[in-house]
Amino acid sequence: MCGISVIVGGSENNVRQKLVKDMNDRVNHRGPDDEGFFLGENFAFGHRRLSILDLSAAGHQPMTRRDLTLTYNGEIYNYIELREELKAFGHSFSSGSDTEVILSAYAQWGVDCFSRFNGMWAFAIADASRNELILSRDHFGIKPLYFTQTESYFLAGSEIKQFTAVSEFKAVLNRPVAVNFLTRGLLNYSEETFFKGVNELRPGHYLKYDLSTSKIEIQQWYNLNAASKKVNDNFETAVGKVRELFIDSVKIRMRSDVTVGSCLSGGIDSSSIVGIIHGDKMANADFSTITSCYSDKRYDEQRFSDEITLSTGFKSLKVYPDLNHLIDEGDMDKMLYHQDQPFGSASHYSEFKVFQKARENRMIVMQDGQGSDEYLCGYGEFFIVRMKELIRSVHWGEAYSLLKNKAAHKQTTVTAELKSFIKTAYFFRALNFLKRISGRSQYPWLSNEWRTIARSAKVELKENDIRNLSITEIEQSSIPYQLHSEDRNSMLFSIESRLPFLDHRLVEYVIGLPSSYKIRDGYTKAVLRDAIYELPESIRTRKDKMGFVAPDEVWIKENKEKVRQDLLNIVKTTGIFSDELLKRFDRFIDGTLGYEPIYFRAMTLSRFCKIFGIA
């Protein structure tokens, strides 16, 4: 895991050399072990290295082989198998790193090599024979890559803050992106960022930069919808296939020359990872897990993580995030600087503290359970969509059974669950529609100017069935921002985070399965629950879900004076909000109005703008 810097243009080589060094310096947390540069005729590459595979100088970057030079962030987990395949074509290798495999793969197959990689990556290759640069990003965007153009330069890098090294770069707020965050909590849903004029290279895409003409072309090399074919396996066969794919995914993500550990929430996903590592003997008793804990039992999963610890014998480390440190110790501002964007919940602080604990205990690689909810139907919205699927297809008996099973799990009645479904699926949507046609604002806390921006910036997401909802959440509404947060919080502490549930083989297979294999007998993730028999029964049959959580509402109430002062300053100085923001906050504090996430979002957006001097 590393940080990369790319700069093209300018008339003087020594200026480019200084600028690429300054860009590198802004992400030295991503690679504390080594630094390197490559100066081309009218471009420069920079690299900060976090050594994971082949810790020797043989893995130094940028790396050059013949006409190709590479600066690379990530891991190609199937590099061993690819290296053997490439040897058969006559390629030879002088290191044990995956970096050298990428160069040989590109030399052999060109851009078609991307589809052969199983891993996470963001890299730039300079091809001297074609006088062009190729920038590539992995299937799901686990590793970040941004680019922008100033008057004199084309810039690309792992984090947006690198561009502030160039004086021509001006930080200007992208208002449509900001308003979609405030109104709907959307983050990383498109190529645009909070910085106007700065784009991310979208997952599964590559960018070609012609060094002769400065022409830029962006092409998609991976399409999840096309790759996830319909699967006709019966449920038992699917269970076996999911198990096989998951075990292999975990196994190749254990390849490392430094210490590997795992996040452990006590939920099904992280517990599955740890259970497979133990059950398949991928680690010894020195293997360690880290759990985020809270004294408030509504947000605490220790009793479940303790069961996994007991069943595996692995070492258990625990952190107890103190949300008061967000403001009192400056952790919120630190996170905002490293995130390069605001965030919508203090749950990201739990993640922050877990990776901080990993660094303190010299665990350089961490397995994590992100990524499964979006295609194994782990979120509540999947139940709503599944019910709609059954109703549309006139499978009313199945719909009733689903409601009945859910009521049994929650110890409520079918009538109560039906009312909840109707309210969520139809009533709230109808209410919002009536507000729009009547002229009433859905967002009374926005100023008139920003309400206008909100109306024009609205994003439509495709969520009409389980398959489309899964793909939307992977490509737009959920996975992108979670990956963004995971990358920044881990790399802030020079930790490589690995995500077995985002092995493209597993994702494609499960998306192709029938909806009934994912939501079955009232349980979500049904096929996974049956596949991982290493899970303790209390976890395998869990009906609730937490993950990285934090008591936002409790913390805001406990710090109401500080939060209100923040909101007052925001209303007075930003021009984004109306006085209604404070009125609603006061009603929330006195108990006449429920909690709204806009309070936290407003705080982080305002602080983010101040940190980066955004106009």
Angle CA 250–485–113, to nearest 5 = 50
Q: For residue 477, which amino acid is it?
A: S
Give per-residue pLDDT as tens, 561-599.
999 999 999 999 999 999 999 999 999 999 999 999 999
Least confident of 233-247, 296-310, 475-489: 296-310
- Using pLDDT thresholds of 50, 70 and 90, give the confidence band for residue 434: low
The whole-number pLDDT of residue 542 equals 85
The whole-number pLDDT of residue 467 equals 95
Q: Report the distance separating Cα 533 and Cα 62, nearest Å.
A: 44
Q: Alpha carbon of 247 to those of 275, 394, 417: distances in Å?
A: 10, 38, 36
The whole-number pLDDT of residue 163 equals 98
The whole-number pLDDT of residue 243 equals 98
Query: Residue 285 CB: number of other CB atoms within 10 A?
Result: 10
Contact 568, 317 (CB under 8 A): no
The whole-number pLDDT of residue 347 equals 87
The whole-number pLDDT of residue 588 equals 96
The mean per-residue pLDDT over the stretch 88-93 comes to: 95
Least confident of 186-190, 352-356, 377-381: 377-381
**Residue 237, token pair as written in the block:** 């066969």
| Buried-exposed string 513-544: b where 16+ CB fall within 10 A, e elsewhere | bbbbbbbbebbbbbbbbbbbebbbeebbebee
The whole-number pLDDT of residue 551 equals 78
Contact 355, 489 (CB under 8 A): yes
Contact 351, 549 (CB under 8 A): no
Contact 206, 137 (CB under 8 A): yes
Q: Report the distance separating Cα 284 and Cα 507, nearest Å.
A: 29
Complete domains list, the chain, with CATH: 2-222 (3.60.20.10), 226-376+463-540 (3.40.50.620)
Percent of the chain with pLDDT over 90: 81
Q: Looking at the DSSP assignment, which residues form a beta bridge with residue 288?
A: 315
Q: Is the pLDDT of residue 547 over 70?
A: no
The region, left, alpha or beta by phi > 0 then psi within -120 to 50, assigned to residue 185 is: left
Q: For residue 468, which amino acid is it?
A: N
- Using pLDDT thresholds of 50, 70 and 90, give the confidence band for residue 436: low
The whole-number pLDDT of residue 10 equals 74
Q: Is the pLDDT of residue 433 over 90?
A: no
Q: Is the pLDDT of residue 37 over 90?
A: yes
Give per-residue pLDDT as tens, 184-242.
999 999 999 999 999 999 999 999 999 999 999 999 999 999 999 999 999 999 999 99
The whole-number pLDDT of residue 331 equals 96
The whole-number pLDDT of residue 424 equals 84
SS3 of 251, please?
Answer: helix
Contact 413, 423 (CB under 8 A): no
The mean per-residue pLDDT over the stretch 546-555 comes to: 70
- DSSP-derived pairing of the beta strands 63-65 and 34-39: unpaired
Contact 286, 279 (CB under 8 A): no
The mean per-residue pLDDT over the stretch 63-76 comes to: 97
Give per-residue pLDDT as tens, 508-540.
999 999 999 999 988 899 999 999 999 999 999
Q: Is the pLDDT of residue 432 over 80?
A: no
- In SS3 terms, 265-294 reads as CCCHHHHHHHHHHHHCCCCCCCCEEEEECC
State the chain's mean pLDDT as an integer: 93
Q: Is the pLDDT of residue 371 over 80?
A: yes
CA-nearest of 77, 134, 145, 139 to 103 is 134
The mean per-residue pLDDT over the stretch 41-47 comes to: 95
